[in-house]
Amino acid sequence: MVANWWRRSFGRKLKLPLDAEGERLDRALDEVRRRGESTGRDRYRQLQTKLILAVQAGVAAALSWLVAHELVGDPAPIFAPAAAVGTIASSIGQRLGRSVELIIGVAVGIAIGDGLIAAIGTGPWQIGLTVTLAIITAILISGHGTLVSQAGGTAVFIAALTPSSPDLEGPRFLDAVIGGAVGLIVVVVLLPISPLRIVERAANPALDELAEQLSRTAQALAERDAGRAEAALDRLREIGTDLERLRDALAGAKEVVNLAPARWHRRRALMQFQIGVEQMDRAVWNSRGLIRRAVVLIEDNEPVPASLPPAVQNLSEAIRLLHYEFTRGWEPREARRAALRAVSDAGRARAEGVELSGTVVVGQIRSAVVDLLRATSISRSDARNLVRDASNGQEPLTVESAPGQG
């Protein structure tokens, strides 16, 4: 262990409390190692979800150059691939709007640049005035980043290159139209992502991490190990990156099913995922509160009823089952049953006797289960009724199918 090496090498010279310093060093190194592993996982997951974008961008760049060069006759159509890549690289879920903004921005830059150059000529102050007016015009039209940047950039090209390269306006505008159109065609027709696959792949890390840390919290409660529960809370605090990536994937999937005819049949399934993601986001917040109070419960030496760790474990199992059944397109019956078992166990724990933090943990379990049931398309009122019945020890009768949307 590092602590032993520290003790042998520096302990006597520094005269420090060796056990405390060694343990602190071990914890620090463990934290560095954990963060390195987390960063590596994040990079790998990002590569998985973004790899298709790199392929789409490469295909769009090649096709747009080919169209502009061979069909339109532009000898050096550098703006077409740039516009195509800009379209692919736009915020996921907003490519159509960004492409329109790109074309409008180019048109604004050409109009302002061409008009001012004819009136005041070229030079440093003319370029500055042209760019300023082009950006002001773009802001008045929309104010969005793509439109403003394209208007300003195009104005620079027109003002700076027109003396040496006349008649730049037409090719620049045509290249922008070709690049934007080809980019959309590649995304929507030629290489559309599989919407459910991309969402499922993005959902895996978030749901697996949530289930894993709840399971560790259940073990921490059973063993009264506050350190393990604190570590689970730290890991769950870092789940925000996975949730953000999941939201981006969902936005991209919605864009595809709205624009690509070949993916229209996935709209219903994607809607189910969207409902689930919105509710699971709330479940994460409730789970953080649950784990936080579990730490306090253990540290304050409050009683841990025998039914409380199984309640948290069943909540973890419900999340795993929800993930499993969603990815297979099944009705999430088993996930609902596990979630209500968690509530039933929590109700027994409350009856066995809990103090302040234990009461909060029971309440957080109930709130998380309401969110989980709503993620399975059960309405808010029905979810609350099911949780209330399960908490009171009544056998749920309506978990086989979703009673209604909420």
Compute the mean pLDDT over every residue in the chain, rounded to the nearest whole number: 78
Q: How confident is the model at residue 30 (pLDDT cuts 50, 70, 90)?
A: low
Residue type, 3: A
Q: Is residue 104 within 8 Å of 199, Cβ to Cβ?
A: no
At 151-208, the pLDDT tens digits run: 887 778 777 766 555 565 567 778 878 888 888 788 777 777 776 777 777 777 888 8
> Higher-confidence residue: 73 or 256?
73
107: phi > 0 → left, psi -120 to 50 → alpha, else beta; which? alpha
Q: Which residues in the chain are classed under CATH 1.20.58?
A: 195-391
Sole residue written with tokens 């253990």: 298
Q: How far apart are CA 243 and CA 125, in angstroms?
A: 48
- Half-sphere exposure in the Cβ direction for 334 (13 Å, CA): 12
At 194-243, the pLDDT tens digits run: 767 777 777 778 888 899 999 999 999 999 999 999 999 988 888 877 77
User: According to CATH, what is the number of the domain 195-391?
Assistant: 1.20.58
